[in-house]
Amino acid sequence: MSLILRHGEDPFLQKVRSTILAHRMIPQGAGMIAAVSGGPDSVAMLHALVHFSREMGFRIVVAHFDHALRPESLHDAEFVARLADALGLEYRTERQNVLAYARSQKISVEEAGRLLRYDFLERVREDATVPVIAVGHHIDDEVETFFLRLLKGASLEGLCGIAPVRGNIARPLIRVTRNEIMAFLQRRNISFVVDSSNLEDATERNYVRNVVFPILQKRFQGFEGAVHRAIGVLQAENQVLEELAQELYQSAVTAQDNGIYLDRLKLLHASRGVSRRVLLKAIYAVAGQRSRFARPHVCLIEGLLSRNKPSGCVQLPHGILVRRMYDVIHVGVQDAVCQRTPYELQIDSPGVVVVPQLPTRLRFETYALQGHPLDFADTSAAYFDAELLPFPLLVRGPRPGDRMRPWGFPGSRKVKKILIESKVPVHVRHLTPLVAKDNEIIWIPCIRRGSAAPVTRETRTILEISVTGAPSCVFVQPRDKASPDVCEHS
């Protein structure tokens, strides 16, 4: 049974119903977690959800997180437990020392509470196997957030308020005011608890709410509505930039198992407002949406992009490391790219092998030369005389003292020097796969072919080794196909 608009309904419930319908917050036949602190906002939200659940028959699980910051917090938890029981709802609770966590992580108490609270809610959601977590943010929260972000110099996106739905978080009250919530509770004679810390001005949000807003209200009565309308304008204009950023993201970003790769030149040629959004999207794609990054972090990456030095790195919170490798920017988990685990794979027959530590596959195939044109300009493939190069072959990482006999060069050269000349950054050279026959290196994919087993007029069977999927060495700068470093028919 679906939720529909009803005339003559309580005005508060009507607004909440309209918001739920507009943003499709309750999937048909699904359930939701209701995050309830015991305060007026979350209690009003819970009663509204219970009202709607009688129409739709969806499941509600009440979740209460005790921050252990006030002596009366245990009383709040007991109140929510009694409320859930009176409404016939499932109940989950957890108590953690938020203050101790904030000190250990060197973050604010407010941020620590947010991280632990949402971690708890997500665990409850997964355990209950429901798709949505409902929280009690309303218009006044959105206006407070707008002012706090404005005073901290937020971006356009940061000034766009609180999204009605973000991921699996839904905000059914986001279109109602605090006064409307209190009026609803009074009409229904619904009790709630009061968080005494909200009456203090110690936190920035409480100071804005308790000190700044009353002053503004004296001169600009009803300013909250004007700010809310301005937020709507900003959201519409932000959407335009977001669409441009999405286009750039699709063309400049490649996602791999070990992180995100970005095209530095495309970012530099884009407008700064758009490229910044792409950088943030890439960071969040690796770190997760519950992490927090801000303008200073983006500015650090911009400095990495624009400086003359072709390589370098920036360390960000949450274990994120951003590396520049010439015109490639890599965003990944710190040290995930630089694990030095030696490997050696024996290739006994044609087939595909996955290169360890890289999102790369090498394909080995043999076929008759006749009727198969060979593209010697393609550096992602190498061709050999199969009769002169029988299996087994080896795929391994570079070793100290490695040398190879490159095609077209007299004698041998150090593999290390070849990698340096190919602009492979020092911290990832050990990841470059080498293809060898016994002790001779026959190919460095995308970089150099050895002189072994050349294709000649006498060749009848071809052994083709090629890269499938991602490039075999994403750190190598593209080479000019007009000057291929491979053998041709002699």
Q: CB of 355 within 8 A of CB of 362?
A: yes
**Residue 378: which of 285, 484, 302 has the closest Cα?**
484
Which strands form 60-66's sheet, in the order they lie side by side? 90-95, 60-66, 32-35, 132-134, 169-170, 165-166
Q: CB of 453 within 8 A of CB of 347?
A: no
The Cα 460–Cα 48 span in angstroms is 78
The Cα 398–Cα 416 span in angstroms is 8
The Cα 365–Cα 465 span in angstroms is 7
Count the neighbouring beta carbons within 10 Å of the beta carbon of residue 361. 15
In sequence order, the 6+-apart residues with CB closer than 8 A to the CB of 199 are 206, 210
Binding-site residue numbers for ATP are 37-42
35 is written with which tokens? 């995050």
**Residue 55: which of 120, 5, 118 has the closest Cα?**
5
The Cα 265–Cα 287 span in angstroms is 24
The Cα 91–Cα 60 span in angstroms is 9
Q: CB of 442 within 8 A of CB of 417?
A: no
Count the neighbouring beta carbons within 10 Å of the beta carbon of residue 334. 14
Binding-site residue numbers are 37-42
Burial of 46 (0-12, 13-18, 19+ CB in 10 A): buried
Q: CB of 59 within 8 A of CB of 87?
A: no
- In 78-196, DSSP assigns E strands to 90-95, 132-134, 165-166, 169-170
Cross-strand partners of 321:
315, 332
Residue linked to tokens 């429901």? 130
In sequence order, the 6+-apart residues with CB closer than 8 A to the CB of 316 are 283, 287, 293, 297, 300, 322
Per-residue burial over 107-142, b if 16 or more Cβ lie within 10 Å, else e, is bebeebbebbbbebbbebbeebebebbbbbbbbbbb
